[in-house]
A and B are shown apart, each in its own frame.
Chain A
Amino acid sequence: MFDAFLQGFQFILRVDTYLYIIIGLAAGMFVGAMPGLTTVLALAVLLPVSFKVEPMLGIPFLIGITKGGIFGGSIPAILVGIPGTGASIATCFDGPALTRKGQARKALEMALYASVAGDALSDIITIALIGFFATLVLLIGPPEVFAIILLSLVLIAGVSGESGLKGAIAAFLGLGLGFIGTDATTGATRMTFGLEALSGGIPLIPLIIGVFAVPEILGAVESKAPRFVSERVDFSRVGERLRWHEFRASIRTILRSTAIGTWIGAVPGVGQVVAAFVGYSAAKRASKHPETFGKGDLDGIAGPEAANNAVNGPTMVPLLTLGIPGDNTTAIMLGAFVAHGMRPGPQIFQEQGPLLYGLMITMVLSNILFLAVGYVLLKPFAYAIQMKKAYLIPLIVILAFVGTLSTGDVSDLGIMIVVGLVAYILRKLEFDLAPLVIAFVLAEPIEYSLSQTLLYARGSILHYVFVARPIAGAFMAGAILWIAWMSVRHRFKRTPQPTEP
């Protein structure tokens, strides 16, 4: 594995890789800075760009979008108190207060430095640990793969709203869509309803764009306000730059939040929003002056920003070693890897170790560009948040169409629109759609591994899983216990009483 790591350095010397990262960072920051639009939207509509170039260009491009998008959300959060993305909600506690005190520039720079530091450190931890996990997963077989996928789906569905019930339904809808087409185990064709076009299954790109882009577009136009942000931003009154001693005072907070974000990132389904809140409350608890939090404390920016960006790296561990995406972002990343003929899973480090290490080293190095691009683009994007929806939304629509048409089949537009409209209705009803896409991409591996498990079990499945394969048994038990806990928790949870209008 160490040889693969060293060989990975040969892939990092390409200038065009860094050019794609810069474009990705800028695109991600721009979309992230628009309240109402998310990083996932940018990833979904720009995913096809990554297919048309080599993996060493396309995947770093997507990584750039993710890094830039999470940070971009903090710009409106600090300047006008409106979070650009869910990950920057916690930044709204202290960001606007610092702006009111005339310290917006300090807050923005702290957000940037904390984001870069959290991201870079967690990427380094990821590189250090991923080889160990990749070696470990080589020891597991189909029963363990089945049990881990099952536990992941249960966890991902469980952390969505409504005590996980709607998340679980979304996961089953995703599995159902994944069954359409040819069964990978037996070659039989299922659920095509007589349509030849469905024999190859539902294509991933229209599904991703439909699920993630269309509901966001429709959601963004619900408000009749002409702009996402109506408050006027005046960058000439943002105050002084962040001083070294101010940053040094927050280093402890950044390190703590990085550890929190790294840990949360490795758990499927939890994600950046939770990491940011935990990072914020940990910073407040550890502070000698907790009373200043919420009134404009730079630690209140450093805590959530380092934590939410630190989630990025570790989400790649379950994705690359087990082929399990833990959130929307990694589900889209999985699509990019598969399109490049790289199926993440236990074997990928054996087959393409140097390339993967090359990608991860690039991920670490891209943080230097993140710092530079973030610094240069702070001011233009601070003004860009006031862009008119009437021009921005049509541009996103046209990019969503290009993304779908990249499959070369015009009829995929129909799939994208139908899926998108259904996804919009489901989102209005508070269904979390991440389990849908994740279950869709995992439908084939889960059925295949279950099929192999049943074959090995020779009729005594319970004995085989819980006695002969204790690791699989432990994961299965974990899934069962989690389902039981979610059911019990819901029973004891207080339901809100309807109030008189």
Chain B
Amino acid sequence: MEAEKPSLPSAALARLDVAVAALIALAGAALSIAMPRLVLEGGIREAQEFMRLTPVFFPRLAFGLMAVLGLIQLVRSVRRFPGAAPATGESWITKYQNPLVVAALIVAYAYLIPWLGFSAAGFAGLAFLIIALGGRGWREILPFALLAPLVVRFVFERLLLISLPRASFEVIAAPEEVLMQFLSRIFFFLRI
């Protein structure tokens, strides 16, 4: 558990704190009220009649309490707002540029996987991530981006039997499969 940090939040974070607290309070209240409609028909009817605790009661109670806590947090966040550190010259986009770029690349990488398969998508994802994080020179980037997904695929798929997605395009999937079989033959003694 991390120790409490006494530092003042920046104005942007203080605004975000207020927004998140409001969202939690609203979501808790809405889910608590709408809970009966969020339980589908079905399940074991006899059990539902026998048990004193309906499928609605406990979630409704929990979301209700979450709404109350969200409200208390909202009040605290609003009270703390004037004490927030004034904005510095650096905008939040500049400050969080790297996390935003990496998050966008992670999303793009995830979208590519069903199309290009694990290794080819991994090559593209890794190459762009390395460049985004300041890696320079194709002699360093290319071998790493090419080899890392293949090694990871071989270790996890062939040795630990974790099935990883195959490319939708045969032109990518077939050579990759041949390479994996080749590696499996070389490292046959490692197979579990």
Query: A184-242: which residues lie under 8 A (CB-CB) from chain B?
Result: 185-193, 214, 217-219, 221-222, 224, 226
A428 to chain B, nearest CB (A): 6
- Alpha-carbon separation in the docked complex, A264 to B148 (Å): 40
**A172-B47 CB under 8 A given contacts A161-B3, A161-B4:** no
Indicate if B179 sits at the interface (CB-CB under 8 A).
no
Indicate which residue in B55, B113, B133 contacts A188 across the interface (CB closer than 8 Å): B55
Q: Interface of chain B, helix or strand or loop or mixed?
A: helix
**A394-B125 CB under 8 A given contacts A218-B103, A424-B99:** yes
A413 lies within 8 A of B28 (CB): no
B1 lies within 8 A of A327 (CB): yes
In the complex, residue of chain A having the shortest beta-carbon distance to the beta carbon of B47: A186
- Alpha-carbon separation in the docked complex, A173 to B23 (Å): 12
A390 lies within 8 A of B133 (CB): yes
List the B side residues contacting A424 at CB < 8 Å: 99, 103
Indicate if B106 sits at the interface (CB-CB under 8 A).
yes
**A172-B66 CB under 8 A given contacts A48-B162, A161-B2:** yes
Indicate if A159 sits at the interface (CB-CB under 8 A).
yes
In the complex, residue of chain A having the shortest beta-carbon distance to the beta carbon of B52: A454
A102 to chain B, nearest CB (A): 32
Chain B interface: which of A104-112, A244-252, A268-276, A370-378? A268-276
Query: B22-49: which residues lie under 8 A (CB-CB) from chain A?
Result: 24, 28, 31, 38-40, 42-44, 47-48
Indicate if A12 sits at the interface (CB-CB under 8 A).
no
- Alpha-carbon separation in the docked complex, A270 to B1 (Å): 6
List the A side residues contacting B106 at CB < 8 Å: 214, 217, 397, 417
Indicate which residue in A176, A183, A390 contacts B135 across the interface (CB closer than 8 Å): A390
**A455-B16 CB under 8 A given contacts A179-B62, A394-B126:** no
Q: Interface of chain A, helix or strand or loop or mixed?
A: helix
B95 to chain A, nearest CB (A): 8
- Alpha-carbon separation in the docked complex, A175 to B32 (Å): 13
- Alpha-carbon separation in the docked complex, A226 to B66 (Å): 41
Indicate if A380 sits at the interface (CB-CB under 8 A).
no
**A451-B52 CB under 8 A given contacts A191-B59, A397-B129:** yes
Chain A interface: which of B70-78, B169-177, B180-188? B70-78
Chain B interface: which of A162-170, A342-350, A353-361? A162-170
- Alpha-carbon separation in the docked complex, A89 to B77 (Å): 29
- Alpha-carbon separation in the docked complex, A254 to B69 (Å): 42
List the B side residues contacting A390 at CB < 8 Å: 129-130, 133-135
* Interface membership of chain B positions 45-61, coded 1 if the CB is closer than 8 angstroms to chain A and 0 otherwise: 00110011111001100
Indicate if B164 sits at the interface (CB-CB under 8 A).
yes
Chain B interface: which of A289-297, A331-339, A429-437? A429-437
Indicate if B85 sits at the interface (CB-CB under 8 A).
yes
A187 lies within 8 A of B42 (CB): yes
Query: A407-447: which residues lie under 8 A (CB-CB) from chain B?
Result: 408, 410, 413-414, 417, 421, 424-426, 428-430, 432, 434, 447
A218 lies within 8 A of B102 (CB): yes
A395 lies within 8 A of B148 (CB): yes
List the B side residues contacting A183 at CB < 8 Å: 39, 43, 55
Indicate if A53 sits at the interface (CB-CB under 8 A).
yes
- Alpha-carbon separation in the docked complex, A428 to B2 (Å): 13
List the B side residues contacting A395 at CB < 8 Å: 148
A85 to chain B, nearest CB (A): 11
B96 to chain A, nearest CB (A): 7
- Alpha-carbon separation in the docked complex, A35 to B99 (Å): 17
- Alpha-carbon separation in the docked complex, A9 to B133 (Å): 49
List the B side residues contacting A169 at CB < 8 Å: 24, 66, 69-70, 73
Sorting the interface of chain A by its residue count into under 10, 10 to 19, 20 to 34 or 35 or more gives: 35 or more
Indicate if A399 sits at the interface (CB-CB under 8 A).
yes
- Alpha-carbon separation in the docked complex, A270 to B72 (Å): 25
A398 lies within 8 A of B125 (CB): yes
Indicate if B65 sits at the interface (CB-CB under 8 A).
yes
B162 lies within 8 A of A455 (CB): no
A453 to chain B, nearest CB (A): 9
- Alpha-carbon separation in the docked complex, A357 to B1 (Å): 29
A450 to chain B, nearest CB (A): 6
- Alpha-carbon separation in the docked complex, A53 to B70 (Å): 42
A72 to chain B, nearest CB (A): 18
A413 to chain B, nearest CB (A): 4
Indicate which residue in A179, A187, A222 contacts B98 across the interface (CB closer than 8 Å): A222
Indicate if A492 sits at the interface (CB-CB under 8 A).
no
* Interface membership of chain B positions 96-130, coded 1 if the CB is closer than 8 angstroms to chain A and 0 otherwise: 10110011001101100110001000100110011
List the B side residues contacting A193 at CB < 8 Å: 38
In the complex, residue of chain B having the shortest beta-carbon distance to the beta carbon of A421: B103
- Alpha-carbon separation in the docked complex, A189 to B161 (Å): 32
**A172-B3 CB under 8 A given contacts A52-B162, A218-B103, A417-B107:** no
B46 to chain A, nearest CB (A): 9
In the complex, residue of chain B having the shortest beta-carbon distance to the beta carbon of A193: B38
**A410-B113 CB under 8 A given contacts A53-B160, A188-B55:** yes
A186 lies within 8 A of B44 (CB): yes
Query: B1-21: which residues lie under 8 A (CB-CB) from chain A?
Result: 1-6, 8, 13, 16-17, 20
List the B side residues contacting A182 at CB < 8 Å: 43
B30 to chain A, nearest CB (A): 12
A429 lies within 8 A of B133 (CB): no
Indicate which residue in B1, B72, B164 contacts A160 across the interface (CB closer than 8 Å): B1
Q: B residues near A, CB below 8 A?
A: 1-6, 8, 13, 16-17, 20, 24, 28, 31, 38-40, 42-44, 47-48, 51-55, 58-59, 62-63, 65-66, 69-70, 72-73, 76, 82-86, 95-96, 98-99, 102-103, 106-107, 109-110, 113-114, 118, 122, 125-126, 129-130, 133-135, 144-145, 148-149, 152, 156, 160-165, 192
Name 4 extra pairs, CB < 8 A, besides A189-B43, A432-B2: A186-B43, A222-B98, A397-B109, A454-B51
Between A and B, 12 residue pairs with Cβ closer than 8 Å are A53-B160, A160-B2, A169-B69, A186-B47, A189-B40, A218-B99, A273-B1, A273-B2, A273-B3, A401-B118, A402-B164, A429-B16
